[in-house]
Every structure is written in structure tokens, then in C-alpha cells.
Structure 1
Amino acid sequence: MYKKLIILFVIACGLFLLFPPLPKNYSLTNVFRITEEPVAITHGTYGSALTVNISFGDDEVLNWIKELEKPYPTLFIDIDWAGRFPETIRLIKDKNIPTALLGQDGTAYENDAKLLVHQLEAYENIFGEKPLWFRSKDEVFSHFLHELLWESEVNALGSSYVWTGGDIPPEVEGEIISVPHHRKQRVNLAEIKRLSKSRDFQSIDNVIFGVQGETKKIPK
């Protein structure tokens, strides 16, 4: 009898070491390194995700944010722009609109290795947490930038399609659509409403992990 108890105790200890319990605040979407190696994610497995890159605009962006309704797009925010418009940032936070970090063109990080660190620190100071997603403005991710992001525990996110206005593209399963709003290239924010009505957009997490019912899978 005692031998059986000892054996069961040893087995239980082994299972505990192999499969420790997850912390109460564990969340799949909070875990970095969705992929097994540094790589930019450009598509998911289910539905459509809408992302908007913002580095320009004042009252027009503020008014657009005021009128935004759920499901919200994910806003990739340029840190310099965020610093100039704290009222808009406060509204984004109050409405709990998902945000991510929009960087400079990919080559900028080749010339300044500390640039990403400064941007991540500024983002965390504004939003109170490190971004889960990063996108360079031109969606170019060099090997060096991938390594910087990997070390910083932030995921690189590109897009499947960059929409610059005009005809609405046909829906593609797992697509991640990005819309630019920069000084030299931007879509009228009112036009984004038309795109939003073209399909049922999901969060980035849902699209990447294929959340449909209770199932989750990482895209290959």
C-alpha cells in the first residue's frame, strides 16, 4: 500500500514539473513569440482584420475616433504623432480601442539600433504596457529589425492587403487589411466606414488564432 502511494506521489510530482499550472492571468494573446522564429505575420486563418496606420491628422482623427463603433479596428500609432495629440490618445484609451506601435520605415532601424527601444519605451509610457504588435511604416522588416523585435518580445505584423481607397477588395479568409493615414498617403477617414461595412471584421487575435467557437490554431 505504501509503495503504491510513493509511486503515485512520484508520478504526480513528475507531471507537475512537466505541466505546471498556468497563472490565473494567463492569456494566449498576451504571450510573445507566436511564431517559432523571427518573421512578420501577414495573414491569419479565419475572417478579416482591419488595421489603420496613423501618423498624421488632428481634428479629423479626433472626430473619427469619437464616431468609431465596435468592432474597432486596431490602430497602429506613430509615437511622435501620439505625443502631439494627447486628447485623441485619451479618447482612444477611454474607448478601449486596440492599439499597436507604428514605426518608421524599416531601413531607419538599420541606422539607429536604439530607435526601436526608445519607441517601445514611449509607447509603454503612454499606454501603460508594451505593444504586442509592431509594424514598420513601409511594412519592410529587415533581418536586423526582426532580431530587434525578437529580443524586445514584440511581434512583427505586416498585412495581406494595403487599401488606399477606391474599389473594395474581395474578401479573403484570414486577411489582414491595413489602411494608411499619413501626410503624403492617406485615405479619407470617412471612406473607412465604407470598408468596415463590406465584411464582418474580427480582432487581430481572432483572425491569427482562428478563433471560431472554442478552437484556436496558429497559422502555418
Structure 2
Amino acid sequence: MRNKYFIIFITCLGLFILLPPLPEQASLTSVFRLTEEPAVIVQGTSGSALTVNISFGDVEVEQWIQGLSKPYPLLFVDMDWAERFPETVRLIAEKNIPVGLLGVKGIVYEQNTPLFTQQLKRFETTFGVKPLWFRTVDEVFPQSLHTQLWEAEVNALGSSVVWRGGDSPPVIEGEILSIPHHRDDHILLTELKKVYKGRTFTTIEDMLFKTTVKTKKIPE
């Protein structure tokens, strides 16, 4: 009887050692379509999610990222900016902060079709993964661009509210707040504490994977 249990134990131990480890949750959601047809996600149904578009900033941005705590906002990063500040990119990776690809104005993709593919490759080279999220800087998604996004299995994410400072916007259930941080369009990142008052933020993944998303169609 003891020999029987010993053989079972050895067999189970061997299977445990030989079987490959389960992938982390992040890798399971690295590429995933959240919509069943071409659309831009603009809102969930509950909670609040914070997104920040970054194409400008050095020390201030790095210090702000160092001070972030969970639940983290979703950072949309411009690739020119990311390639200029590899230490900040490394910090984002070390803290496992969710990051998406920030593009240029939507109309540019109609004039320069290969641009999205080029940006996507640069993102993968810099961050080591394909982005789950993409946003143009003006949240305009031409049909030709969306076709590329759909084929690449990258989700188009807009926002419910763009906040550029001043009084905190009223709370909307399921809202996706967008904060621009560009050379000619930015606020002090310390001002973000205003939007935290009266809100309980969650990650964009928790909001959208657990609830029904609200979308708008891509213009033809």
C-alpha cells in the first residue's frame, strides 16, 4: 500500500515539474477584441477609469509615475517620447502600469497608411508586447485606421470626458477620463488630485472586462 501511494506521489510530482507554468493574467489579455464589430470604446457601465496621454515631460512625469499607486491609470504613450526616456519606460514596466499606444491625429493615418504598423512595431520593440489599447491624439478614428486596428487585434479606446484642468468634471458612471499631457496642452500632474475627489477609480481592464462597454461606430 505504501508503495502504491509513493508511486502516485512521484507521478504527480513529475507532472508538476514537467508541465509548463500557467501564463500570467496580463499575458492572457495582451491581445483581445472587446467588441464584436468595428467600434470605438468610449464608456463602461460602472465605476471610473483614468487615462493619461503622454507625449511631453521629463522629470515631472517620472516623479509622478514613481508616486503612482494601484489602481494605476492607463497611460497612452507617444513613441517619440517613449524612445527619448527609456528610464521612465523601464519604471512603467517595473511597476506593471498598463500602457497603450498613443497615435497622432486621425487624419494623418488616411494620408500615411503604413504609419500605424510602424508605430505598432516601435511599441513592441520598446515594451516587449503588443498594446491592447490604441488612441489617436484627437480621438478621431478613420475607417482605414480602424481596419488596421481590427486586423491587429488592438482595441480603439476613446473617452467619455477630456479634462484639461479647472473644476473637476461631474462624476458619470462608467466614465473614461482622458487627461492630455503634451507640450502645448497639459496641466501640472499634481492637479490630478482634483479628479480623485468624489471618485473611486478602477483600472480600465476591470471596468471593461467586467461590464458591458458603450461604443460609437467608426465613421465610414
**TM-score interval (norm. to shorter):** 0.7 to 0.9
Corresponding position of 1:15: none
CA distance in 2, matches of 1:88, 1:39: 32
Q: Aligned residues, how many?
A: 192
* Alignment of structure 1 residues 99-178 onto 2, 5 Å: 99-178=99-178
Give the drift of 1:152.
1.3
2:61 maps to which residue?
A: 61
Unaligned runs of 5+ in 2: 1-21, 216-220
2:74 paired residue number: 74
* 3-state SS, counterpart of residue 137 of structure 1: coil
| Distance in 2, Cα, partners of 1:136 & 1:91 | 24
TM-score, normalised on structure 2? 0.82
What is the aligned-residue RMSD (CA, Å)? 1.7
CA apart distance, 1:46: 1.5
- For the residue of structure 1 that corresponds to 2:80, the secondary structure is helix
Q: 1:75 Cα deviation (Å)?
A: 0.4
Quick one: percent identity of the two aligned structures? 57
- Residues 26 and 96 (structure 1 numbering): CA distance in 2 closer, same or farther, change over 3 Å? closer
1:202 aligns to what SS in structure 2?
A: coil
Partner of 1:91: 91
Contact in 1 for aligned 2:31/2:153 (Cα 8 Å): no
Q: 1:180 is matched by which residue type in structure 2?
A: P
* Residue type at the aligned position of 2:184: K
Q: CA deviation at 1:95?
A: 1.0
State the shift of 1:100 in Å.
0.5
Structure 1 position 205, deviation (Å): 1.6
Residue deviations 1:165-196 (CA, integer Å, cap 9, x gap): 11111111111000000011012101012223
| Matched-pair contact (CA < 8 Å) for 1:106–1:137 | yes
8 Å CA contact 1:46–1:208 kept in 2: the answer is no
Rounded to whole Å, the distance in 1 between the matches of 2:131 and 2:214 is 21
Contact 2:44 2:212 in 1 (8 A): no
Q: In structure 2, do the counterparts of structure 1 residues 52 and 34 end up closer, same or farther at CA, with 3 Å as the change threshold?
A: same
Residue equivalent to 2:201 = 201
How much has 1:26 moved relative to structure 2? 9.0
TM-score by length of 1: 0.82
Offset at residue 145 of structure 1 (A): 1.1
Q: Is the 8 A contact 2:41 2:213 kept in 1?
A: no
SS at 1:61's partner residue? helix
SS at match of 2:168: coil
Per-residue CA deviations over 1:73-99 (Å, capped at 9, x if unaligned) read 110000010000111111111111110
Q: Which residue in 1 is equivalent to 2:5?
A: none
Gaps of 5+ in 1: 1-23
